[in-house]
Chain A
Amino acid sequence: MIRILTNFVKRIFLQLFAEKKQIKLGFYGPPNSGKTTLSNKICKDWLGEEIGVASKIPHETRNVTLKDSVVIKHRGKELSFTLVDTPGIATKIDYEEFLKYKMPEAVAKKRAKEATKGGIEAIKWLDEMDCVVVVLDATKNPYSQVNVTIIGNLAARDIPVLIVANKIDLKKASIKKVEDAFPQYEVVGLSALEGTNIEEFYESLFRIIKRR
């Protein structure tokens, strides 16, 4: 209740100073869903530089990374964002998983430790967000509890959510499965890697921010 009231007051305040405020846009989701790839795509589109390094190995992003003053223009409108790329949230991390990628054991153990800290850091940042893009891998089962937990938390905090069904360039991808799993949310299917449907993403993003 207190959270909802705080968010309400925050929004009124934001509307008063809308022109000066940067919108904190968080990228959340499970590991390896393409959060950094999407953040990089947006940064490249509007700043000409990337926010972080994307990789096929899970938990590549192990710290929250920010990129300020990302001005996105869409259909004559302009909004200024602070992009917040977060580490993947998971319920389990086993260093042995990284050994499959031919990583030395010590490096894998270090990576696992950093990944656990990154997950905690990502959760702590939830309250700071004005809007969140939940990036899901459209080739995987969307009913994972981590996805449900992240989205449920954002709803409880009254933070606007846009769900991205990423990796639609892959054969196994299904936007419908994601839509069916979260029918009360707006879902955009895209390929962050190839830039497919990115215009539709900006359209949905502006629409969700307008509704705040």
Chain B
Amino acid sequence: MLTLQFVPYTDIEKLDSAGRIKKLLTIVKEEKIVLMQGRLKPEEETGLIEKTMESIGKKFTGIEICTIYPEEVNADLFGRLKKEFYKVLIGDREGITVIGPASLIKEIRRDPNKIQLFTSVPVRRTSPRRKVVSGKAGKTHKKKR
């Protein structure tokens, strides 16, 4: 069984960087896959990698992480200013971050607006093949490979 835990932005917005990292790692160490609204800051991402490396041991072999974030392709100056204004007002809630324990997730593929999770959990008892869980534009599909 796979457990996906949603972490809304409101759960992390008041935490400092160390608090955010601790919260996310605690969930992942419970063998759950985190679906976090928004993304970590670049320095928080390296902080998460650092803390992960420090935690690696017999039971915990690390994490798989992936973020998808809407790219600003054709935004004009007004559009960009508006976005920055919203960010200051309500925080950077755009995008989604998926973090899972490496013991459950073999690989995450980002392509660039689609996330595919390759897990080590078989789809059916009779099928030893890998299971793919892919999500695109807010939908979650499950398909057999």
**Is there an interface contact between B53 and A153, defined as CB atoms closer than 8 Å?**
no
A116-B56, A143-B111, A145-B108 are known contacts. Are A90 and B62 too (CB-CB below 8 A)?
yes
- Which residues of chain B are near A143, meaning CB under 8 Å? 109-112
A91-B102, A141-B109 are known contacts. Are A126 and B62 too (CB-CB below 8 A)?
no
Min Cβ gap A66→B in Å is 21
**Is there an interface contact between A91 and B65, defined as CB atoms closer than 8 Å?**
yes
**Is there an interface contact between B64 and A92, defined as CB atoms closer than 8 Å?**
yes
Per-residue CB contact flags for chain A residues 81-115 toward chain B (1 = under 8 Å, else 0) read 00000000111111000000000000000001000
B17: Cβ under 8 A from any A Cβ: no
**Is there an interface contact between B46 and A126, defined as CB atoms closer than 8 Å?**
yes
- Which residues of chain B are near A4, meaning CB under 8 Å? none
A13 CA / B16 CA spacing, docked (Å) = 33
Q: Which of A116, A126, A141 has the most CB of B within 10 A?
A: A116
Give the residue of A112, A120, A141, A181 whose beta carbon is less than 8 angstroms from that of B50.
A120
A163 CA / B45 CA spacing, docked (Å) = 20
Min Cβ gap B114→A in Å is 10
Give the residue of A91, A120, A145, A148 whose beta carbon is less than 8 angstroms from that of B62.
A91
A116-B53, A116-B54 are known contacts. Are A94 and B61 too (CB-CB below 8 A)?
yes
Which residue of A is nearest B71, CB measured?
A183
B117: Cβ under 8 A from any A Cβ: no
A143 CA / B66 CA spacing, docked (Å) = 9
A112-B56, A116-B56, A120-B54 are known contacts. Are A149 and B42 too (CB-CB below 8 A)?
yes
Min Cβ gap A128→B in Å is 14
A120 CA / B54 CA spacing, docked (Å) = 8
**Is there an interface contact between B45 and A152, defined as CB atoms closer than 8 Å?**
yes
B76: Cβ under 8 A from any A Cβ: no
| Secondary structure class of chain B's binding surface, majority of residues | mixed
Which residue of B is nearest A146, CB measured?
B49
User: Which bucket holds chain B's interface residue count?
Assistant: 20 to 34
A57: Cβ under 8 A from any B Cβ: no
- Which residues of chain B are near A141, meaning CB under 8 Å? 109
Give the residue of A90, A117, A149, A181 whose beta carbon is less than 8 angstroms from that of B45.
A149
Give the residue of A119, A148, A156 whose beta carbon is less than 8 angstroms from that of B53.
A119
**Is there an interface contact between A148 and B67, defined as CB atoms closer than 8 Å?**
yes
A92 CA / B49 CA spacing, docked (Å) = 9
Which residue of A is nearest B60, CB measured?
A92
Give the residue of A93, A119, A153 whose beta carbon is less than 8 angstroms from that of B42.
A153
**Is there an interface contact between B63 and A92, defined as CB atoms closer than 8 Å?**
yes
**Is there an interface contact between A94 and B45, defined as CB atoms closer than 8 Å?**
no
Min Cβ gap A39→B in Å is 22
A93-B61, A123-B46, A153-B46 are known contacts. Are A145 and B66 too (CB-CB below 8 A)?
yes
- Which residues of chain A are near B53, meaning CB under 8 Å? 93, 116-117, 119-120
Per-residue CB contact flags for chain B residues 59-81 toward chain A (1 = under 8 Å, else 0) read 00111111100000000000000
A5: Cβ under 8 A from any B Cβ: no
17 A-B residue pairs with CB within 8 Å: A91-B52, A92-B62, A92-B63, A93-B56, A94-B61, A94-B62, A112-B56, A116-B56, A119-B53, A120-B50, A123-B49, A126-B46, A143-B109, A145-B67, A149-B45, A152-B45, A181-B112
Binding site for A on B (CB under 8 A): 41-43, 45-46, 49-50, 52-54, 56, 61-67, 102, 108-112
